[in-house]
């Protein structure tokens, strides 16, 4: 008898690595080794091939230590790879000098962490504006930050400091901060990992909203079954390799 899981989703035999003509991420034979050529060598990613079309909402699952965060940090231009190619919106990033890499990151990627990393001394609004600080904050930026906080249901909390917010509210501020540059891609590493299921639900709802309404492509590492319901595709990473990749035709 098919398990509940199997009845809810469909395995795509030819791979969900389908190219619908609008690829936003393409990964070719990506390897990441730590302590390379030493007795302690760890192969965190072992020849990953992966394609993401614009507008997808992908949940990444897998056991602890399987390479999920390693993959996300490489995609987020925050960590190097050992070999292979990574294209972000058409641009190959693995050979890029640091300065150009920061540019790709600034223009293309919003990153949401499990540990929320808000600055305690400043308001929610100022936290959202933080990534723009090096470039000077314009009036239009403040307007956009306020709009984002409104979308996140935090209109009446924007002048509060993180300590005065709930866990779910803080994580929603962090998502607004990830969206302030209007990135086409949001990478989220266990965005609800430290939250209870209700506050986690508020965070997932916000991710769903920006995916559906703004067409932001989302890759989220999560074990939350709710996220699997929201997402258009789920991918399992086991021991540095993609062991399952399937679309979710019952997406809610």
Ligand X SMILES: Nc1ncnc2c1ncn2[C@@H]1O[C@H](COP(=O)(O)OP(=O)(O)OP(=O)(O)O)[C@@H](O)[C@H]1O
Q: Does 65 bind ligand X (CB under 6 A)?
A: yes
Neighbours of 7 (CB within 10 A): 10
Cα separation, 74 vs 80, in Å, equals: 6
> Which residue of 70, 81, 123, 181 would you call a contact of ligand X, by CB under 6 A?
70
Residues 11-70 interacting with Mg ion (rule: CB under 5 A)? 69
Cα separation, 136 vs 183, in Å, equals: 18
Q: Which listed option, Mg ion, ligand X, none, makes contact with residue 64 (CB within 5 to 8 Å by class)?
A: ligand X
Q: Which listed option, ligand X, Mg ion, none, makes contact with residue 44 (CB within 5 to 8 Å by class)?
A: ligand X
Least Cβ distance, residue 68 to Mg ion (angstroms): 5
Cα separation, 54 vs 187, in Å, equals: 13
Count interface residues toward ligand X (CB under 6 A): 11
Helix (H, G, I), strand (E, B) or coil at 214: helix
Q: Does 211 bind Mg ion (CB under 5 A)?
A: no
> Which residue of 11, 19, 22, 34 would you call a contact of ligand X, by CB under 6 A?
34
Identity of the residue, 15 or 65, whose beta carbon is nearer to ligand X in the bound complex: 65
Torsion from C-alpha of 238, 48, 37, 77, nearest 10 degrees: -110
> Across the chain, where does the E strand assignment appear?
10-11, 23-34, 42-53, 57-61, 83-88, 91-92, 109-112, 185-189, 217-221, 233-238, 241-247
Q: Does 81 bind ligand X (CB under 6 A)?
A: no
Cα separation, 174 vs 192, in Å, equals: 12
Q: Does 217 bind Mg ion (CB under 5 A)?
A: no
Q: Does 42 bind ligand X (CB under 6 A)?
A: yes
Least Cβ distance, residue 226 to Mg ion (angstroms): 19
Least Cβ distance, residue 73 to ligand X (angstroms): 8
Q: Does 66 bind ligand X (CB under 6 A)?
A: yes
| Segment holding 178, helix H or strand E | helix 167-179
Handedness of CA 106, 112, 116, 118 (dihedral sign): positive
Identity of the residue, 42 or 137, whose beta carbon is nearer to ligand X in the bound complex: 42
Q: Does 110 bind ligand X (CB under 6 A)?
A: no
Do 182 and 208 meet the contact criterion of CB atoms below 8 Å apart? no
> Which residue of 30, 57, 59, 62 would you call a contact of ligand X, by CB under 6 A?
62
Strands 109-112 and 57-61: unpaired
Least Cβ distance, residue 25 to ligand X (angstroms): 17
Identity of the residue, 3 or 64, whose beta carbon is nearer to ligand X in the bound complex: 64
From the list 57-65, 103-111, 120-128, 180-188, the region that binds ligand X by CB under 6 A is 57-65
Instruction: List residues binding Mg ion (CB under 5 A).
Output: 69
In the complex, the residues that contact ligand X under the rule CB under 6 A are: 34, 42, 44, 62, 64-70
């Amino acid at each position: 008898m098919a398990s509940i899981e199997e009845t809810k989703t469909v395995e795509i035999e030819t791979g969900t690595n389908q190219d619908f003509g609008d690829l936003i991420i393409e990964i070719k034979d990506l390897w990441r080794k730590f302590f390379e050529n030493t007795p302690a060598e760890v192969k965190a990613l072992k020849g990953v091939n992966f394609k993401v079309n614009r507008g997808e909402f992908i949940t990444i699952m897998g056991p602890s230590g399987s390479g999920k965060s390693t993959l996300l940090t490489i995609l987020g231009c925050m960590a190097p790879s050992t070999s292979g190619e990574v294209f972000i919106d058409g641009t190959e990033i693995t050979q890029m000098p640091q300065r150009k890499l920061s540019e790709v990151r600034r223009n293309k990627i919003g990153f949401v962490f499990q540990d929320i990393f808000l600055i305690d001394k400043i308001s929610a609004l100022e936290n959202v504006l933080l990534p723009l600080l090096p470039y000077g904050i314009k009036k239009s930026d403040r307007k956009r930050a306020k709009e984002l906080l409104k979308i996140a249901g935090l209109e009446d909390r924007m002048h509060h400091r993180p300590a005065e917010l709930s866990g779910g509210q803080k994580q929603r501020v962090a998502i607004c901060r990830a969206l302030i540059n209007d990135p086409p891609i949001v990478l989220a590493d266990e965005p609800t990992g430290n939250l209870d299921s209700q506050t986690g639900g508020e965070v997932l709802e916000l991710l769903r909203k920006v995916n559906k309404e703004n067409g932001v492509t989302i890759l989220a590492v999560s074990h939350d079954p709710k996220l699997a319901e929201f997402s258009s595709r789920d991918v399992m990473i086991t021991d540095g390799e993609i062991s399952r990749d399937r679309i979710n035709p019952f997406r809610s």
